[in-house]
Structures are given as structure tokens and as C-alpha cells.
Amino acid sequence: MSDTLDPAEIRANVRRFAEREVRPGSAARDREERFDAGLFRRLGDLGVLGALASARYGGAELDPVAVAIIHEELAAADPGLALAYLAHAVLFVNAVARHAGEAQRTRVLPDACSGRTIGAVAMSEAGAGSDLMAMRTTARREGGRYVIEGTKTWITNGALGPGDLGDVALVYARTGEGVRGLSLFLVQRGMPGFRLGGVIGGKLGMRTATCAELVFDGCAVPDGNRVGPEGGAVMMLMRTLEIERLMLAAIALGIARRALAIMNRYASERRTFGAPLREHGQIQGYLAESYAAFRAGRAYVAAAASALAGPGCGADADGAKLYCARMAKTVADHAIQVLGGNGYVEAYEVERLWRDARLLEIGGGTNEMLQKAITRHLTRPETLE
């Protein structure tokens, strides 16, 4: 895939892959709570795993608008796979491409862009989710290396399956106090002291993305695996969170679009009281409100992604996620209502879409945290210009 393709071509290419390769097994993977690493690696053949990376490392050099389209299309087929894609292509590959040194990029990115390795980012801890500055994992300097101690949890792509540690992770750890005491490290499978604490099972939704606990027990990391300057990870983290939230909003679009398509088709096929379901006013309300909300969300994401390609999108990454996460859950809920009893069982898919949508109001910044952040943005006059 290349940035010479226009957005319509990118959408068509990814949709074709998603319909042929991703959707057919998505229900079974959800029931089994199984991440399909082989399927994920085939995204490398499609050329999207390095969507934001330079072509010199095997990337596609796409802009954020195109990357939002990829997330929407994958999410319409399997939201969990789209979440795993975000963790790899946006949180891992993009962070390495933007912030790592040339030697690190040359060593890490080609395999990550091709799919030979699957990346993760380890930020969250048991006591540091939304409050990331409360993280307690440490990295102390010992000669020409750092020794990392601590535990990370809720790490997407942290494991490739039960008992199978992930390939590589970007790990945030404390090298000092305060906002200038946070550093970033590349930690790879096989490094002594790096192990899988366990896979988190029994999740409500997003079951096709593996979520893991990672343990760093005296994990020795070479000095050359520190990404960026010591104590300089906070600014890297802030820009990463901005694009993460926007792509989570794009995942919400895929969920909403799929739920809308299912209820629209069902409303035409199902007849009650001698007429198609769609001819009843209450059902028309669900359909029309869902369509308008979805289109508004897509426009918001496109506008914010266009701004992100330039100086950044400020409040709108937060705003798009806040709006779209709620919108996707509401549209999926409407779909369950339109399908009635059929909407309550897995065969009709909308109950899974509702479960998957629920995470988006929590992960990557809770609704409450985003409200606080947007309110802070509104103290700046330019926000409303």
C-alpha cells in the first residue's frame, strides 16, 4: 500500500481484506477469546502494519486520515483485531518511527512493518491507568544498561496466546521523579527477567485482542534500547495518546457502521403487523438517529485526523473519542432493540458489537478523564475559533 492511493482506494483495499480474511472467523475467535497472530501478520502483506512509518523501513507513509480509515474498516469486521492493530501500528510502530534513533529504527521497524514481529506498548499498571504519572515501574542505571523492575497490566499484544509472551514492547518506566523522570525502553522477548505474568481472560468485549500482564524482574536492558533522552518520555507519551484516542474513535465508527447495517437489513426483512419493521415510526427513529450520529462521528474523525497531520488536533482527539465511543455503544444498543430477542444472542452479531463498544468509554482515557481534558482545552481562546 502506498500514500499515492487516495482514501477511497485505501478503504476499498482494506475492506476487501477484512471481508475475505477477517470477518469469517471473528465470531469463533470471540467465543474462544483468541488472538489470531497469523491473521494479524497477514496485514503486513497488505502493507498497513507500518502505515505511519517511512518507506525506507518498509512503511507506507500514510497520513492520519488514511490510518483512521484502516481502523474503521478493520473494526467493522472485528473490533478486537482493530484494537490489536492500533496497539501495533500506532502505539508501537509510530512511536519508534517518531522517537527512536536511526540504529533503533533500522533494527526494529522492518520486522514490525512486515509483520514478522508484533509490537506492544506497556504503560498501564494496576494503580496507574488514567493516572499514568502514578506508574511505579522503575529503571535504574547500572553501567551500560538499565535494570527494569515492575509489572504492567492491560497490555494489548503483550502476549500472542496463553503462555506465549509477545515479541517486543515499548516500556515506560521511572528513572527519576515527576514528569521529567519518565523514560522509554525497547524490551524484546528473550531478555532475562522479562516474562509473561498471565493473559487476562473473561473480558466483556474485545476478546479477539490478547490483553496481558507483563513482569519485569530485574530485566536488564542495554543502554542502546532506551528510546529518546532519559527522562524525556512524557512529551512522547502525550503525542502518542493524541493519535491513540483518535484511532479509538475510528474503531467506534467501524462498530457503529456494522451495527447500523445489520439493523437496517433486519428492519427490511422482518415483518410485523403486516408490514416491514422499517415502516414503523419507532424503528425509523432508531435507524435515522443512528445514521445521523454515525455520519457526524465520521465527519468529526476526518476533521481531527486532517488537523493531526499538521500541528495537531488538541481538544478534538479527545472530543472525537468522547463522542464516538458513546455513539458506537448507542448505535449497537439501538440495533439490539430493533432486532429484539434476536439481538440478544450471538448469532446476529450486534450483542458482540455492543460488548466491544463498551471498552471505548474506558480504554485510552475514560469519558470522565476526557471531559476534564476538554474543559482544560476550553480555557484557551483559540479552541473555539
- Of 150, 131, 168, the closest CA to residue 213 belongs to 150
pLDDT confidence band for 1 (50 / 70 / 90):
low
Q: What is the CATH number of the domain that holds 32?
A: 1.10.540.10
Domain boundary residue among 118, 143, 177? Answer: 118
Whether residue 181 is predicted with pLDDT greater than 80 in this model: the reply is: yes
Instruction: Render pLDDT for 214-271 as a digit per residue (tens, 0 to 9).
Output: 999 999 999 999 999 999 999 888 888 899 999 999 999 999 999 999 999 999 999 9
Kindly state the average pLDDT of the residues 100-124.
97
Instruction: Render pLDDT for 302-314 as a digit per residue (tens, 0 to 9).
Output: 999 999 877 667 7
Give the pairing type, strands 182-188 and 138-142: unpaired
> pLDDT at position 309, please?
72
Q: What does the alpha-carbon distance between residue 79 and residue 62 come to, in Å, rounded to a whole number? A: 21
> pLDDT at position 4, please?
57
Residue 85 sits in the same domain as residue 167: no
Residue 239 sits in the same domain as residue 376: yes
The answer to whether 244 is a known catalytic residue is yes
> pLDDT at position 95, please?
96
* Cell 458513546 found at: 326
Kindly state the average pLDDT of the residues 124-151.
91
The SS3 assignment for 285 reads helix
Catalytic residue among 72, 213, 242, 244: 244
The SS3 assignment for 1 reads coil
Residue 111 sits in the same domain as residue 249: no
Contact predicate 112/88, CB 8 Å? yes
- Of 137, 125, 126, 122, the closest CA to residue 171 belongs to 122
127 occurs within a structural domain: yes
Cell numbers describing residue 333: 444498543
> pLDDT at position 5, please?
67
Residue span of the structural domain in which 36 resides: 7-118
pLDDT confidence band for 106 (50 / 70 / 90):
very high
Q: What does the alpha-carbon distance between residue 252 and residue 19 come to, in Å, rounded to a whole number? A: 18
Q: What is the CATH number of the domain that holds 250?
A: 1.20.140.10
Whether residue 2 is predicted with pLDDT greater than 60 in this model: the reply is: no
Whether residue 139 is predicted with pLDDT greater than 60 in this model: the reply is: yes
Q: What does the alpha-carbon distance between residue 221 and residue 185 come to, in Å, rounded to a whole number? A: 8
Instruction: Render pLDDT for 59-73 as a digit per residue (tens, 0 to 9).
Output: 999 999 999 999 999
> pLDDT at position 381, please?
84
- Of 151, 130, 247, 255, the closest CA to residue 200 belongs to 151
Domain boundary residue among 193, 215, 230? Answer: 230
> pLDDT at position 3, please?
44
Instruction: Render pLDDT for 337-380 as a digit per residue (tens, 0 to 9).
Output: 999 999 999 999 999 999 999 999 999 999 999 999 999 999 98
Instruction: Render pLDDT for 67-98 as a digit per residue (tens, 0 to 9).
Output: 999 999 999 999 999 999 999 999 999 999 99
Residue 131 sits in the same domain as residue 165: yes
The SS3 assignment for 45 reads helix
Residue 342 sits in the same domain as residue 218: no
Contact predicate 55/49, CB 8 Å? no
Q: What is the mean pLDDT of the chain?
A: 95
> pLDDT at position 15, please?
97
Contact predicate 122/157, CB 8 Å? no
Residue 372 sits in the same domain as residue 262: yes
> pLDDT at position 127, please?
86
